[in-house]
Amino acid sequence: MIYKKWIVAIKRDEGPEFQVGKSTEVCSKHFRSSDFIPSVASGRSLLRDSAVPSVFAFSKKKKERKPPKPRASPQVRSQNPVLGPGVLGDEPMHSPGEVEAAPVGLEEPTGLNSSLEGENARLAETIKQKNNEIARLRDECCQIKEQLVAAKGIIGQLGLEKASLSCQLAAERERTAPFTVERFKERRRHAILHWAAKLQPLQETSGLLEPR
Protein backbone atom coordinates (compact mmCIF):
# COMPACT_ATOMS: atom_id res chain seq x y z
CA MET A 1 0.00 0.00 0.00
CA ILE A 2 1.39 3.41 -1.00
CA TYR A 3 0.41 4.93 2.36
CA LYS A 4 2.66 2.53 4.29
CA LYS A 5 5.51 3.13 1.84
CA TRP A 6 5.35 6.86 2.52
CA ILE A 7 5.37 6.28 6.31
CA VAL A 8 8.41 4.03 5.99
CA ALA A 9 10.14 6.49 3.66
CA ILE A 10 9.81 9.50 5.96
CA LYS A 11 10.86 7.35 8.97
CA ARG A 12 8.23 8.76 11.24
CA ASP A 13 5.45 6.71 12.83
CA GLU A 14 2.09 8.11 13.76
CA GLY A 15 1.61 9.02 17.39
CA PRO A 16 0.39 11.77 19.68
CA GLU A 17 2.73 14.30 18.09
CA PHE A 18 2.28 13.22 14.46
CA GLN A 19 -1.03 12.35 12.85
CA VAL A 20 -1.56 11.93 9.08
CA GLY A 21 -4.64 13.74 7.80
CA LYS A 22 -6.04 15.27 4.59
CA SER A 23 -4.00 18.45 5.14
CA THR A 24 -0.71 16.59 5.70
CA GLU A 25 1.76 17.41 2.88
CA VAL A 26 5.26 16.36 1.89
CA CYS A 27 7.54 18.95 0.26
CA SER A 28 8.29 18.39 -3.45
CA LYS A 29 12.03 18.60 -2.66
CA HIS A 30 11.81 15.08 -1.21
CA PHE A 31 10.92 13.59 -4.63
CA ARG A 32 13.07 12.85 -7.64
CA SER A 33 12.40 14.41 -11.02
CA SER A 34 11.34 10.99 -12.33
CA ASP A 35 8.51 10.92 -9.75
CA PHE A 36 6.67 13.78 -11.51
CA ILE A 37 4.49 13.56 -14.62
CA PRO A 38 6.23 15.56 -17.38
CA SER A 39 4.56 18.14 -19.66
CA VAL A 40 1.43 18.84 -17.63
CA ALA A 41 -0.85 21.31 -19.46
CA SER A 42 -1.72 23.27 -16.30
CA GLY A 43 1.95 23.78 -15.47
CA ARG A 44 1.54 22.27 -11.99
CA SER A 45 3.82 19.51 -10.71
CA LEU A 46 1.81 16.30 -10.48
CA LEU A 47 3.17 13.16 -8.84
CA ARG A 48 2.84 9.73 -10.32
CA ASP A 49 0.56 7.30 -8.50
CA SER A 50 3.54 5.13 -7.60
CA ALA A 51 5.78 8.01 -6.41
CA VAL A 52 7.40 7.64 -2.97
CA PRO A 53 9.49 10.37 -1.26
CA SER A 54 13.13 9.31 -1.24
CA VAL A 55 15.25 12.48 -0.98
CA PHE A 56 16.04 13.24 2.67
CA ALA A 57 19.03 14.58 4.56
CA PHE A 58 19.39 11.26 6.40
CA SER A 59 19.38 9.26 3.17
CA LYS A 60 22.79 8.91 1.54
CA LYS A 61 22.72 10.00 -2.06
CA LYS A 62 23.75 7.22 -4.35
CA LYS A 63 26.63 8.01 -6.60
CA GLU A 64 25.47 7.80 -10.17
CA ARG A 65 27.67 5.70 -12.37
CA LYS A 66 29.09 7.50 -15.35
CA PRO A 67 28.29 6.01 -18.73
CA PRO A 68 31.16 3.94 -20.19
CA LYS A 69 33.07 5.14 -23.20
CA PRO A 70 31.95 3.66 -26.51
CA ARG A 71 34.00 0.63 -27.45
CA ALA A 72 35.51 0.17 -30.86
CA SER A 73 34.03 -2.46 -33.13
CA PRO A 74 35.97 -5.74 -33.57
CA GLN A 75 37.00 -4.67 -37.07
CA VAL A 76 38.52 -1.39 -35.88
CA ARG A 77 40.09 -3.12 -32.89
CA SER A 78 41.80 -5.67 -35.16
CA GLN A 79 43.41 -2.88 -37.18
CA ASN A 80 45.06 -1.35 -34.13
CA PRO A 81 48.27 -3.03 -32.88
CA VAL A 82 48.20 -4.55 -29.41
CA LEU A 83 50.12 -2.36 -26.99
CA GLY A 84 52.21 -4.00 -24.33
CA PRO A 85 52.74 -2.78 -20.80
CA GLY A 86 55.94 -0.95 -21.80
CA VAL A 87 54.16 1.03 -24.52
CA LEU A 88 51.49 2.34 -22.18
CA GLY A 89 54.10 4.12 -20.02
CA ASP A 90 52.86 5.73 -16.84
CA GLU A 91 49.28 6.25 -17.99
CA PRO A 92 46.95 5.28 -15.11
CA MET A 93 44.66 2.31 -15.59
CA HIS A 94 40.97 2.66 -14.80
CA SER A 95 38.64 -0.01 -13.62
CA PRO A 96 35.27 -0.42 -15.36
CA GLY A 97 33.57 1.50 -12.56
CA GLU A 98 35.98 4.45 -12.82
CA VAL A 99 35.58 5.19 -16.53
CA GLU A 100 35.19 8.94 -16.97
CA ALA A 101 32.57 10.26 -19.33
CA ALA A 102 33.43 12.98 -21.81
CA PRO A 103 32.27 16.39 -20.52
CA VAL A 104 29.11 17.61 -22.19
CA GLY A 105 29.56 20.69 -24.42
CA LEU A 106 33.33 20.23 -24.82
CA GLU A 107 33.27 18.27 -28.04
CA GLU A 108 36.16 18.51 -30.42
CA PRO A 109 35.54 20.83 -33.40
CA THR A 110 34.34 18.98 -36.44
CA GLY A 111 36.13 19.02 -39.77
CA LEU A 112 33.52 21.44 -41.11
CA ASN A 113 34.19 23.98 -38.34
CA SER A 114 37.93 23.74 -38.91
CA SER A 115 37.43 24.27 -42.63
CA LEU A 116 35.23 27.33 -42.03
CA GLU A 117 37.74 28.82 -39.61
CA GLY A 118 40.52 28.37 -42.15
CA GLU A 119 38.39 29.94 -44.90
CA ASN A 120 37.52 32.92 -42.66
CA ALA A 121 41.19 33.47 -41.86
CA ARG A 122 42.10 33.33 -45.55
CA LEU A 123 39.36 35.81 -46.49
CA ALA A 124 40.41 38.18 -43.69
CA GLU A 125 44.00 38.12 -44.96
CA THR A 126 42.80 38.76 -48.55
CA ILE A 127 40.69 41.74 -47.43
CA LYS A 128 43.67 43.16 -45.53
CA GLN A 129 45.89 42.89 -48.61
CA LYS A 130 43.23 44.53 -50.82
CA ASN A 131 42.84 47.43 -48.37
CA ASN A 132 46.61 47.96 -48.36
CA GLU A 133 46.62 47.91 -52.18
CA ILE A 134 43.78 50.48 -52.31
CA ALA A 135 45.65 52.79 -49.91
CA ARG A 136 48.82 52.49 -52.02
CA LEU A 137 46.93 53.31 -55.26
CA ARG A 138 45.31 56.34 -53.62
CA ASP A 139 48.73 57.68 -52.65
CA GLU A 140 49.97 57.15 -56.22
CA CYS A 141 46.92 59.00 -57.62
CA CYS A 142 47.61 61.98 -55.36
CA GLN A 143 51.24 62.07 -56.48
CA ILE A 144 50.24 61.85 -60.16
CA LYS A 145 47.75 64.72 -59.75
CA GLU A 146 50.45 66.90 -58.17
CA GLN A 147 52.84 66.05 -60.99
CA LEU A 148 50.13 66.87 -63.58
CA VAL A 149 49.50 70.31 -62.05
CA ALA A 150 53.23 71.03 -62.04
CA ALA A 151 53.53 69.87 -65.67
CA LYS A 152 50.67 72.17 -66.74
CA GLY A 153 52.44 75.10 -65.09
CA ILE A 154 55.67 74.26 -66.91
CA ILE A 155 53.80 73.96 -70.24
CA GLY A 156 52.19 77.38 -69.72
CA GLN A 157 55.55 78.94 -68.91
CA LEU A 158 57.11 77.37 -72.00
CA GLY A 159 54.25 78.72 -74.13
CA LEU A 160 54.93 82.26 -72.92
CA GLU A 161 58.63 81.87 -73.56
CA LYS A 162 57.92 80.55 -77.06
CA ALA A 163 55.68 83.53 -77.89
CA SER A 164 58.32 85.95 -76.61
CA LEU A 165 61.02 84.25 -78.66
CA SER A 166 58.81 84.34 -81.75
CA CYS A 167 58.34 88.10 -81.38
CA GLN A 168 62.04 88.61 -80.86
CA LEU A 169 62.82 86.50 -83.92
CA ALA A 170 60.36 88.44 -86.09
CA ALA A 171 61.80 91.75 -84.95
CA GLU A 172 65.32 90.54 -85.60
CA ARG A 173 64.37 89.37 -89.07
CA GLU A 174 62.70 92.70 -89.77
CA ARG A 175 65.74 94.57 -88.61
CA THR A 176 68.24 92.55 -90.60
CA ALA A 177 66.18 92.15 -93.79
CA PRO A 178 67.76 93.87 -96.90
CA PHE A 179 66.11 97.00 -98.33
CA THR A 180 64.12 96.29 -101.51
CA VAL A 181 61.54 98.07 -103.66
CA GLU A 182 58.87 95.56 -102.65
CA ARG A 183 59.65 96.14 -98.99
CA PHE A 184 59.45 99.94 -99.52
CA LYS A 185 56.09 99.62 -101.28
CA GLU A 186 54.77 97.39 -98.53
CA ARG A 187 55.81 99.84 -95.83
CA ARG A 188 54.28 102.74 -97.80
CA ARG A 189 51.00 100.89 -98.22
CA HIS A 190 50.85 100.16 -94.49
CA ALA A 191 51.55 103.82 -93.71
CA ILE A 192 48.81 105.04 -96.06
CA LEU A 193 46.30 102.69 -94.53
CA HIS A 194 47.35 103.76 -91.06
CA TRP A 195 46.88 107.46 -91.72
CA ALA A 196 43.68 106.93 -93.72
CA ALA A 197 42.18 105.20 -90.74
CA LYS A 198 43.06 108.18 -88.54
CA LEU A 199 41.82 110.85 -91.04
CA GLN A 200 38.45 109.24 -91.71
CA PRO A 201 36.85 110.40 -88.44
CA LEU A 202 38.09 113.97 -89.06
CA GLN A 203 36.56 114.04 -92.53
CA GLU A 204 33.24 112.87 -91.22
CA THR A 205 33.30 115.55 -88.52
CA SER A 206 34.15 118.34 -90.98
CA GLY A 207 31.29 117.25 -93.24
CA LEU A 208 28.89 117.75 -90.43
CA LEU A 209 30.20 121.26 -89.72
CA GLU A 210 29.87 122.58 -93.36
CA PRO A 211 26.77 124.79 -94.02
CA ARG A 212 24.14 123.41 -96.35
Residue 26 pLDDT exceeds 60: yes
- Tell me if 97 is assigned to some domain: no
- Tell me if 41 is assigned to some domain: yes
- Tell me if 189 is assigned to some domain: no
Number of domains in the chain: 2
- Tell me if 38 is assigned to some domain: yes
Neighbours of 51 (CB within 10 A): 18
Q: Model confidence over 3-23: pLDDT tens digits?
A: 777 777 777 777 777 777 777
Range of the domain at 143: 114-177
- Tell me if 85 is assigned to some domain: no
- Tell me if 210 is assigned to some domain: no
- Tell me if 17 is assigned to some domain: yes
- Tell me if 143 is assigned to some domain: yes
d(CA 162, CA 155): 10
Confidence band of 150 (pLDDT split at 50, 70, 90)? very high
Cα dist from 102 to 21, 67, 90, whole Å = 48, 9, 21
Confidence band of 88 (pLDDT split at 50, 70, 90)? very low
